[in-house]
């Protein structure tokens, strides 16, 4: 079972053009009225509850994790499925990869750091980590841009390389809605930029 709530939510989200926002849709065939909620609906409710309990911002949690290893960059961050709010942060420096849990109430590292093997990651994760070498922006900057585009609270972010475009995806809670913002990153190391929201 995937304990990274953000990774699960991103896999459910509909893909949208870079630079725009989209609501995370209700899953097709989701029960209505008095029916028992679906797994997807339970995950969305859990994400909202964890975001309400959090006292530490996503950007602050990124900073805590990146300070652990000089020169490391965040590849993915999102809430962990635990009773108390906790961000699971994956950072990388070249082929070195770490995962830490940052307490969303105190900002302290919780538990034992995991060291991951690059070779044992799935191909999608390996591709994203390789792409990180060509990105000058930090994930925290992408989160800041997304929170300006969509007033709300960022609850997760990741770098996704689909071989055509390289994007930061940021998931935000805004009011009673869950929104996804995709920000395209230019692959050229000298002219890296984040596109503004389409009109």
Q: Residue 149 maps to which CATH number? A: 3.10.450.40
| Predicted pLDDT at 6 | 53
Residue 21 resides in a domain: yes
Residue 113 resides in a domain: yes
- Segment holding 107, helix H or strand E: none
Residue 30 resides in a domain: no
Measured CA to CA, the distance from residue 173 to residue 185 in angstroms comes to: 23
Q: What does the pLDDT look like over 86-133, one tens digit per residue? A: 999 999 998 899 999 999 999 999 999 999 999 999 998 899 899 888
Residue 129 resides in a domain: yes
Measured CA to CA, the distance from residue 158 to residue 160 in angstroms comes to: 6
Residue 49 resides in a domain: yes
Residue 194 resides in a domain: no
Residue 192 has pLDDT above 60, yes or no: no
Residue 193 resides in a domain: no
Q: What is the mean pLDDT of the chain?
A: 79
Residue 137 has pLDDT above 80, yes or no: yes
Residue 35 has pLDDT above 90, yes or no: no
Q: Which structural domain range is residue 131 located in? A: 5-25+39-185
**If pLDDT is split at 50, 70 and 90, which confidence band does 4 have?**
low
Residue 142 resides in a domain: yes
Q: Select from 67, 60, 73, 66 the least CA-distant residue to 131.
A: 73
**Contact, 34 vs 72, CB < 8 A?**
no
Instruction: Decide: pTM greater than 0.75.
Output: yes
DSSP for 20-68, written as a single string: -EEEPPPPTT---TTSPPPHHHHHHHHHHHHHHH--S-HHHHHHHHHHT
**If pLDDT is split at 50, 70 and 90, which confidence band does 3 have?**
low
- Counting the structural domains of the chain, the total is 1
């Amino acid at each position: 079972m995937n304990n990274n709530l953000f990774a699960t939510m991103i896999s459910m989200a509909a893909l949208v053009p870079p630079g725009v926002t989209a609501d995370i849709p209700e899953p097709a065939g989701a029960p209505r009225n008095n029916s028992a909620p679906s797994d997807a609906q339970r995950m969305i409710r859990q994400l909202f509850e964890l975001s309400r309990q959090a006292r530490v911002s996503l950007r602050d949690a990124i900073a805590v994790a990146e300070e652990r290893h000089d020169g490391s960059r965040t590849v993915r961050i999102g809430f962990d499925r635990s009773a108390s709010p906790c961000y699971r942060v994956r950072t990388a420096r070249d082929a070195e990869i770490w995962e830490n849990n940052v307490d969303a109430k105190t900002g302290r590292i919780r538990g034992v750091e995991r060291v991951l093997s690059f070779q044992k990651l799935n191909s999608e994760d390996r591709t994203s980590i390789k792409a990180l070498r060509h990105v000058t922006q930090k994930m925290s900057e992408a989160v800041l841009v997304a929170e300006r585009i969509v007033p709300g609270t960022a609850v997760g972010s990741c770098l996704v390389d689909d071989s055509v475009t390289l994007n930061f995806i940021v998931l935000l809670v805004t009011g009673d809605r869950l929104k996804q913002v995709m920000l395209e990153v230019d692959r050229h190391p000298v002219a890296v930029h984040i596109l503004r929201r389409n009109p």
